Amino acid sequence: MAFKTFQVAKREFMATVLTKAFLIGVFIVPIIITASIPVATLLVSTRAPAVKGTVAIIDQSGGSEGLVAAALAEALTPDAIEAQQKIQAKEDTEAVAGEIEARLGKEKAEQARIGTAIAGANTPPAPDITPEILSPTADIDSEKQKLIEGTTLDGSRLALIVVDPAAVHRPASDKPFGAFQVFVKSKLDARAQRAITDQVGRALIRARLAANGSNPDDVLAMTALPRVRAQAVTAGGDKSTGEMQQYILPIAFMMLLWISVFTSGQFLMTSTIEEKSNRIMEVLLSAVSPMQLMTGKILGQMGAGLLILCIYSGFGITSLLYLNRTELLDPSNFIFLIAFFFIAFFTIASMMAAVGSVVTDIHEAQTLMMPIMIVVMIPMLLMMPIISNPAGRMATVMSFIPPISPFVMVLRMSSVSQPPPMWQLLAAVALGVVTVFVFLKGAAKIFRIGVLLYGKPPNLPTLIKWIRMA
Amino acid sequence: MTNAIELKGLRKTFGPMVAVHDLDLVIPQGSLHGFIGPNGAGKTTTIRMIMSILFPDKGEISVLGKKSAIESKDQIGYLPEERGVYKKMKVGPFLKYMARLKGVPPQGLENKVRAWMERLDLAGLYRKRSEELSKGMQQKVQFIAAVIHEPELIILDEPFSGLDPVNSRMLRALIDEQHEQGKTIIFSTHQMSQAEALCDRVVMIYRGHKVLDNTPAQIHSRFDPRAISLEPVTPTTDFSTLLHIPAVESVKAVGRQLHVQIRERFEAASAIPQIATAVPVRRIEVIRPTLEDVFISIVQSSTNPAEHAALIESLRASGSGAGGPGAMPAGFLVGSGARGDQGGD
């Protein structure tokens, strides 16, 4: 009898794995996504649209005989903006290169520097701005009106800067400084807006420092500090810690589980529907019992799911090896991942098999899929809250709600700072085993009746009635 | 001779509808049984219960000496009414898969599949996807799937539907051949001519009841209408000469023909010379009911519930297999001419 189940499983596995849909879904899509990241980066960093026009300055800060306004005008010239962009690009490159050097060594860091330098040659041209200093008493509202006219290319007014009265000189040392307001043309590109705001802000700080009698260059150099990363001390050497453990790993584990379970569950449902709509069900049932058929199909799809899991974890482990970060992987995590895979798979698969067995085409399946979709979407929606507080009450409660329990546990177990206690992991596994048993039993009852049923698909209450029947 | 199938008091309901009413049936080993009956009569439900695909609400089933077909699945070949193939699967691998599911060992299986395909004019389609086959070809593939494991009991649900005359004849020859090898065969059909030509025995199921279970010959004699059809040389409405013959009970004109009902104690055949003497005839013959006539008349009598109940009762009371000429229920008319009354006695 087990032999027949095995035959069904074998066919199910082969029929699933050796299809174009599977190959495309499992291999080609991730490859395309990975390959498209550099392309996407290039596309995103393409040049901002050219911008040409005036930026008017109303300096209400008073004193200094228009020096502040002059400094702002100076900072807004294309040359000044371009110089600042170059400094920024260099800092960014160094930050990335430093990160790479820490992980992969000097050689790779050098390659990255060269790569970014090449990309840097591609930096967008600075907006072509002509500063225009207005009288401090100019009417702001009527000046703002000028922003409405013209385009961002015809040399008309692009922005209006209004410097607050206390922006440079405080009325008293316990009072706060004022700042400035920026009004822009509604169609002005966001990058140009940012360049203007940043330049004005910087110039204002320098003006304050100068007004205070300090040398702005010295003070800025003294207050600048490169980004520093904490380094965790481990037996294998110092490693910088970061978001990797806190976010990437739980998300990766959860996505692994989710994709493998959901994909193979979908395959199970569609293949069951296919057998029904092709009217092959009864031919099969002349050779095997409904239970053997369902078990065989579930086992075959489990093979497909495990294959997906292996392929993707393979990708993951390879990239961790490449990044020299294998210490992040705890072997016990993999054991639990596999355990939770089986639990999640059998739970979802039994629901999918039940739905597939009672409908005759994929459209009819939609309504019955709703509860399953809710179950599989909950962990996705709660992913971020659970990761940021993996030992919180919500995470703990969710860990013991049957169909979503394995997903939540997989999210929690890779947390470095607050891993779930072992008893919770084991309790979740025990609960999972019971859940699987109950779900499979219910699905078997529905499957047995459903596979030979044609016509209008039953609704949920009917399905529950079937489960209750003998 | 042991029995391949025994059904006792089988009953199956779907909600309020009773699909099969307390059905008793015995199918001896080696026999070729035809299940006939209109759509929705309960044929497929009965077959599915025999196959343990459905389970009866009441009653006992014994298949090849086992309590259920599940225990003897590998000795049963089943061609369901709802039959299909995996569209994307190739024909050869599909047949191999079905054979493996039915316990055929893998050694020499491919040759066996190829041999069968050749016999059914499917040679060269081994590597074709099933979806590329015509409906008739698919049906032949399904037939191979039903018999490839050399089952002792073969159940074919509507095997002739969708086949052209050439393939129908081929299938009939194959069924005959399996029968000669001593296999027990049950097939259901709407095509009475097939059942009449092939079967040892015919079971008619109607509205969940077994209304007939007999050999075709017995059915003929039982439904013998004791009627003679004749066509006078000169059209006449004067039946008096005929009514004087002692064997004649009544005469009815149907178009240009006359239908003569024979009294019970007389033989229809022996009345022919007397009738022919009384009226010069162009043609005269005893009306022989076909299974189709029996079938249609049973179905038609059901439009009158009282008549129908009486018919069912009489059929049940006369017992299955008794074979004696049962009394014709009132209003139970056989023969196409008996309808469209004009004139009469």
Closest CA to B1 of B30, B32, B24: B30
Q: Tokens in use for A271?
A: 């293949």
Q: With H, G, I as helix, E, B as strand and everything else as coil, classify residue B283.
A: strand
Give the nearest partner residue to A282 out of B82, B88, B97, using CB atoms: B82
- In this predicted model, what pLDDT tens digit does every residue of A80-134 receive, in sequence order? 888 888 888 777 777 777 766 766 667 767 776 776 666 555 556 678 888 888 8
B109 touches chain A (CB under 8 A): no
Chain A CB contacts of B87 under 8 Å are 274, 278
Q: Tokens in use for A256?
A: 């692994």
Distances (CA, A) of B88 to A6, A265, A301, B243: 21, 20, 18, 70
Closest CA to A470 of A452, A451, A446: A446
B96 touches chain A (CB under 8 A): no
Q: Residues A389, A393, A399, A402: is their CA dihedral positive or negative?
A: negative
Q: What is the pLDDT of residue B331?
A: 36
> What's the CA gap between A278 and A284, in Å, rounded?
12
- Who wins on pLDDT, A418 or A77? A77
Q: Which residues pair with B162 in a beta bridge?
A: none
A448 touches chain B (CB under 8 A): no
Give the nearest partner residue to A279 out of B77, B83, B146, using CB atoms: B83
B226 touches chain A (CB under 8 A): no
DSSP string, A292-327: HHHHHHHHHHHHHHHHHHHHHHHHHHHHHHHTT-GG
Q: With H, G, I as helix, E, B as strand and everything else as coil, classify residue B170.
A: helix
Contact across the interface for A280 and B83, Cβ inside 8 Å:
yes
Edge-first strand listing for the sheet containing B3-14: B17-28, B3-14, B58-63
Chain A interface, best mutation among B97, B133, B141, B158, by max A CB count within 10 A: B97
Task: Name the closest residue on chain A to residue B93, using Cα atoms.
Answer: A11
Q: What is the pLDDT of residue A11?
A: 92
DSSP string, A160-175: EEEE-TTSSS-SSTTS
User: Is the separation of the CB atoms in A164 and A181 below 8 Å?
Assistant: yes
Task: Name the closest residue on chain B to residue A454, using Cα atoms.
Answer: B82
Q: What is the pLDDT of residue B325?
A: 36
Q: What is the pLDDT of residue B266?
A: 81
Average pLDDT of span A307-329:
78
Task: Name the closest residue on chain B to residue A277, using Cα atoms.
Answer: B84
Q: With H, G, I as helix, E, B as strand and everything else as coil, classify residue A90.
A: helix
- In this predicted model, what pLDDT tens digit does every residue of B182-198 receive, in sequence order? 999 998 887 777 788 88
Distance of CA A454 to the CA centre of its chain: 43
B89 touches chain A (CB under 8 A): yes
User: Is the separation of the CB atoms in B91 and B117 below 8 Å?
Assistant: yes
- Who wins on pLDDT, B319 or A47? A47
- Average pLDDT of chain A, as a whole number: 82
Backbone angles phi, psi at A42, to 5 degrees: -60, -45
Distances (CA, A) of A47 to A184, A199, A323, B71: 20, 19, 31, 75
> What's the CA gap between A394 and A413, in Å, rounded?
15
Contact across the interface for A278 and B84, Cβ inside 8 Å:
yes
Chain A CB contacts of B97 under 8 Å are 7, 11
User: Is the separation of the CB atoms in A129 and A158 below 8 Å?
Assistant: yes
Q: Tell me the mean pLDDT per 10 residues along chain B, length 345.
A: 85 86 90 86 88 86 85 88 85 93 90 93 90 88 92 91 87 91 89 81 86 81 76 78 83 82 80 84 81 73 62 52 36 36 36
pTM tops 0.90, yes or no: no
Contact across the interface for B80 and A286, Cβ inside 8 Å:
yes
Q: Tokens in use for A136?
A: 């401090």
Q: Nearest-CA distance from B235 to chain A in Å?
A: 56
Contact across the interface for B142 and A283, Cβ inside 8 Å:
yes
Q: What is the pLDDT of residue B340?
A: 35
- In this predicted model, what pLDDT tens digit does every residue of A278-301 receive, in sequence order? 888 888 888 888 888 999 999 999
- In this predicted model, what pLDDT tens digit does every residue of A426-450 receive, in sequence order? 999 999 999 999 999 999 888 888 8
Contact across the interface for B82 and A8, Cβ inside 8 Å:
no
Contact across the interface for B98 and A287, Cβ inside 8 Å:
yes
Q: Which residue has the tokens 């705890």?
A: A330
Taking CB atoms and an 8 Å cut-off, how many pairs form between chains A and B?
Answer: 64
A449 touches chain B (CB under 8 A): no
| pLDDT above 60 for A243 | no
Pick the range with the lowest mean pLDDT from A41-45, A133-137, B55-59. A41-45
- Who wins on pLDDT, A331 or B344? A331
Average pLDDT of span A196-206:
89
B12 touches chain A (CB under 8 A): no
B70 touches chain A (CB under 8 A): yes
Chain B interface, best mutation among A283, A357, A449, A465, by max B CB count within 10 A: A283
Distances (CA, A) of B238 to A371, B253, B261, B345: 80, 10, 16, 11
Question: How confident is residue A244, by pLDDT bands cut at 50, 70 and 90?
Answer: low
Task: Tally Cβ neighbours within 10 Å of residue B58.
Answer: 12
- H/E element, A71: helix A67-75
Say if the ipTM goes beyond 0.90.
no
- Who wins on pLDDT, A34 or B136? B136
User: For chain B, how many residues are written?
Assistant: 345
- H/E element, B60: strand B58-63
Chain B CB contacts of A280 under 8 Å are 83-86
> What's the CA gap between B192 and B294, in Å, rounded?
10
A288 touches chain B (CB under 8 A): yes
- In this predicted model, what pLDDT tens digit does every residue of B62-121 receive, in sequence order? 988 888 877 888 899 999 887 888 888 899 999 999 999 998 999 989 999 999 999 998
> What's the CA gap between A15 and A11, in Å, rounded?
6
User: Is the separation of the CB atoms in A409 and A435 below 8 Å?
Assistant: no
Contact across the interface for B53 and A280, Cβ inside 8 Å:
no
B340 touches chain A (CB under 8 A): no
A280 touches chain B (CB under 8 A): yes
Q: What is the pLDDT of residue A127?
A: 81
Question: How confident is residue A383, by pLDDT bands cut at 50, 70 and 90?
Answer: confident
Question: How confident is residue A366, by pLDDT bands cut at 50, 70 and 90?
Answer: confident
* Angle between helix A249-277 and A362-381 (nearest 10): 170
Contact across the interface for B101 and A281, Cβ inside 8 Å:
no
> What's the CA gap between A365 and A386, in Å, rounded?
31
Q: Tokens in use for A371?
A: 């509860």
Closest CA to A148 of A187, A181, A180: A187
A107 touches chain B (CB under 8 A): no
Q: What is the pLDDT of residue A343?
A: 93
